[in-house]
Structure 1
Amino acid sequence: MQRPRVVSRYLDAAGPRVFAHRGFADGVPGNTLAAFRAALDAGATHLESDVRATRDGIPVLFHDECLPVGDASDGAGRSIPAMPETGALFSGRAIRSLTLAEVRRVDLGGGHRIPTVAEALDAFPDALWNLDLKAPDAVVATAKQVWRAGAADRVLLTSFSEASRVRAVRLLPGIATSASSIGTAVLLLAASTGRPALVRAVTRLLPGTVLALQIPERAGPLPLVTSPLLTTLHGAGLEVHVWTVNERADIRRLLTLGVDGIVTDRPDVARAVVDVLDVFEALGPPHTGS
């Protein structure tokens, strides 16, 4: 049975957007409820996380394919000792090899646990989520949980895999997505011509609703994010979100250049930069009269 088409509000609010990469690992492990709460408290506009599925098909928020070996880290290089019984039992195990009951026993450090997608959506009912589908077996499971939570209008699903992205948009027609790796490459090639109409035409050929490109600033020595590129993509109605940017000067430079969002481990820093830029924009250009 075809689900009703999603009417997304994911990008309705004015930018710039601050995407908290795995939440805000400020003394707590990333991709935990505590990290997401810290991110919102720090001023993040969007929460970014990663999804994998357990052996029994439950989507959970976890980046790596396997659990860490030994102690966890809070994201700033500080070790958080894990509970010895769970560390010994599950250290290095793949998420897909564990049931949800087993995953719930895993202590990432300081008593923090791996949340399910359903738990995260329920814990932050007003938050906007950027969910990266890390494995094909997470696609259907995630789509089901997003739909059941009534959260499809506030979630963007993304994946490096075009097959995973397409499967997601077929399950949830109209849900917001960003371009996959191949989609990004094609759109960047189209944008290099400086023709927004061509980019719009290519975007229409991609299944589903592609609202943004989420890209690094550079690909090796090659700069990806340039003023002409942004002008062309914006002219085609696409946003550009740049990952993963943590330094204040880099965040300021990219926002001044015109990017729409910053994916960062430091939402507190990004928020502070955005607030300062908002003040200067409100003041307007400097007075140069005599």
Structure 2
Amino acid sequence: MTHPYLQFAPHPRVLAHRGLVTPDEASAGVAENTLAAVAAADAAGARYVELDCHLTTDGEVVIFHDQKLTRVTGDERRVRDVTLAELTAIMQDRGGLITLADLLVAFPELRFNVDVKVPEAAEPAGRIIAPHSDRVLLTSFDESARLRALAACRAADGSPATSPGRTVMISLVLALALRQSGRVRRILASLDALQIPVRMSGINVFTPRLLRAAHEAGVEVHIWTINDVAEMRRLVALGVDGIVTDRADVALRALG
């Protein structure tokens, strides 16, 4: 059965990568993964928003991508070394910090792809997501963090959609290459989507064989991070279910 996260929404799916920050908004100082970026994606008509989360030193799950604040704010500290109040003040003129809990309440019509960036954020993120899990996909590059977040969510009576971490994805690509169909089916059985790049480290991750196997198992394939319209259209023509993009506004116009 299709998870509610993937029901009743446009296809192909456009996932706003870290929200939406247009060049004009970026020049005005708006950063990714902020309240302003999510609001912009919502205003552009995106139904799916991909975001990342970390844990502050006082235990708050916040929307932020990097472990350190440097790239976004110039501050050399890590997210886990600042309080919610400190980070809120730092992000005030950059689009506004938002916690995961506030995000899910503030945008009740949006579906969120939540990427857990550090293990310590996994369990609290899972608990926060539980009441909203019908419109959340949980993932992490760190497979152990993904599984911990899922377990915490399920323990709180939530059942989110999920896509695999790096090690599971590598196992799937290897099983496909070796034509281990039973292993491929077992890997896909617990997943709702594969969210992958076209290639990584010179290796093709997205292939017709992967797409076919995923679809036979009822699993969607979403490709990141695609900003070129011709490439978006090429992938959709091949049968890809979703495009993760920094320019959701452009993608919605091109694929609508």
Q: TM-score with structure 2 length normalisation?
A: 0.88
Q: Distance in 2 between matches of 1:33 and 1:251?
A: 26
> Do the aligned partners of 1:152 and 1:175 also contact (CA within 8 Å) in 2?
yes
d(CA) in 2 for partners of 1:200 and 1:237?
11
Q: Is contact 2:188–2:219 with CA below 8 Å preserved after alignment? A: no
Specify which of 209, 213, 227 is matched with residue 194 of structure 2.
Answer: 213
Cα deviation 1:45-90 (Å, max 9, x = unaligned):
2110000000011000000111136xx5xxxxxxxxx7xxxx7xxx
Is 1:142 paired with 2:125? Answer: yes
Partner of 1:19: 15
- The letter for the 2-side match of 1:269 is V
CA RMSD, Structure 1 to Structure 2 (Å): 2.0
Asked if 1:183 corresponds to 2:179, the answer is: no
Runs of 4+ in 1 over 6 A off after TM superposition: none
Q: Paired residue for 1:41?
A: 43
How high is the sequence identity, in percent, across the aligned residues? 42
Q: Secondary structure at the match of 1:172?
A: helix
The size of the alignment, in residue pairs, is 244
Structure number having the greater helix percentage = 2
Residue 254 (structure 1) aligned with residue 235 (structure 2): yes
> In 2, distance between residues paired with 1:165 and 1:220?
23
1:267 aligns with 2:243: no
Residue equivalent to 1:75: none
Structure with max Cα Rg: 1
Does the Cα contact within 8 Å between 2:194 and 2:219 map onto a contact in 1?
yes
Choose the corresponding residue for 1:234, options 209, 215, 220: 215
Alignment partner of 2:255: what SS? helix
**Other-structure match for 1:280:** none
Q: Deviations over 1:94-128 (max 9, x none)?
A: 11001112112113635x22111111111101110
CA distance in structure 1 between the aligned counterparts of 2:40 and 2:179, rounded to whole angstroms: 40
Q: In the aligned structure 2, how far is the partner of 1:198 from the partner of 1:129?
A: 29
Instruction: Tell me, yes or no, if structure 1 residue 131 matches structure 2 residue 133.
Output: no
Q: Secondary structure at the match of 2:89?
A: coil
* Aligned residue number for residue 61 of structure 2: 59
Q: Which runs of 5+ in 2 are unaligned?
A: none
One-letter amino acid matched to 2:127: K
Q: Gaps (5+ residues) in structure 1? A: 1-6, 73-81, 276-290
Which residue of the partner structure matches residue 96 of structure 1? 80
Structure 1 residues 154 and 240: CA distance shift in structure 2, 3 A: same
Cα–Cα, structure 1 residues 193 and 230, in superposed 2: closer, same or farther, change >3 Å? Answer: farther
Structure 1 residue 196 displacement after superposition: 5.7
Taking the aligned partners of 1:245 and 1:195, their CA distance within structure 2 comes to 30
